[in-house]
Amino acid sequence: MRGEVKDDNGVGLRVRQNDEEETVFIKFAVINVPSVVWRVLQDDNRIGYLQILRFTGRTPEEVLAAAKSLTNSGIDALVLDMRNNSGGLLAESISVANDFLNKGVIIYQVTKNDEQTFSAEDGGALTALPLVVLVNNHTASAAEILAGAIQDHKRGILMGQHTFGKGTVQQIFELSDGSRIHITSAEWLTPNRQPIAGVGLTPDVEMIPDENGRDVELGEAVRYLQNELESNSHG
């Protein structure tokens, strides 16, 4: 390689091959990294798996695509995995909560002088399936909002480890010496008015991670849902 030429559309690389120099132009491309992955876990009981990695501007549409794909596959229950989801965009987490809840409060945002309520609407895409939500101590912020709403409305159970406890809105001001000061301007409360900040969420089923790296939480979630499906079939 002898050098490169860049513009807004790509980069031209000057290369030498067989004693001849030529410019190879490589066009820039937009690569959208998905925030959601999904699959069917069990062919016999049709248990679906939906993992939200983070909450981005694309997450609501990706969750709807996952919901359509999984329901078309005929699943009877769902595992929602938000382990290691550090959060993201508030509006998008509220939008996704609408997919799991029929009405009811999703979150309260409380300031010193005001309180704002975010509520779910009717007709969510994933409101009927038996549900287990996997969380751990890296589940934070927007992910805790969704998990807390599901838990408080008894829409599903939380399984795993205690969550991180990040539930505030902060304003950041830069000082003249280059340092910064963070001022909390609002706090989030779950539908049962429980604080998230500094407290986190306690799973309904607490588990200790396997020291050998086996995904015991997912295995337990599948067993729980299999028992739920069996009980419902006999009910």
Give the tens place of pLDDT for each residue, 194-231: 999 999 999 999 999 999 999 999 999 999 999 999 88
For residue 152, indicate whether it is catalytic.
Answer: yes
Question: Taking the mean position of all CA atoms in its chain, how far away is CA 36?
Answer: 8
pLDDT for 64-81, tens place per residue? Answer: 999 999 999 999 999 999
Q: Which of 44, 141, 177, 185 is catalytic?
A: 141
Question: Taking the mean position of all CA atoms in its chain, how far away is CA 21?
Answer: 49
Buried b (16+ CB within 10 A) or exposed e, 101-131: beeebbbbbbeeeeeeebbbeeebbbbebbb
Q: What is the reported pTM?
A: 0.84
For residue 179, indicate whether it is catalytic.
Answer: no
The mean of the pLDDT values for the chain is 89
Domains of the chain: 1-30 (no CATH), 36-234 (3.90.226.10)
Q: Which amino acid is at 19?
A: D
| Range 168-191 average pLDDT | 82
Q: Which of 69, 93, 166, 179 is catalytic?
A: 166
Contact 86, 102 (CB under 8 A): no
Q: What is the 3-state secondary structure (H, E, C) of 140-209?
A: CCHHHHHHHHHHHCCCCEEEECCCCCCCEEEEEEECCCCCEEEEEEEEEECCCCCECCCCCCCCCEECCC
For residue 166, indicate whether it is catalytic.
Answer: yes
Give me the phi and psi of 34, to 5 degrees please: -65, 145
| Range 13-34 average pLDDT | 68
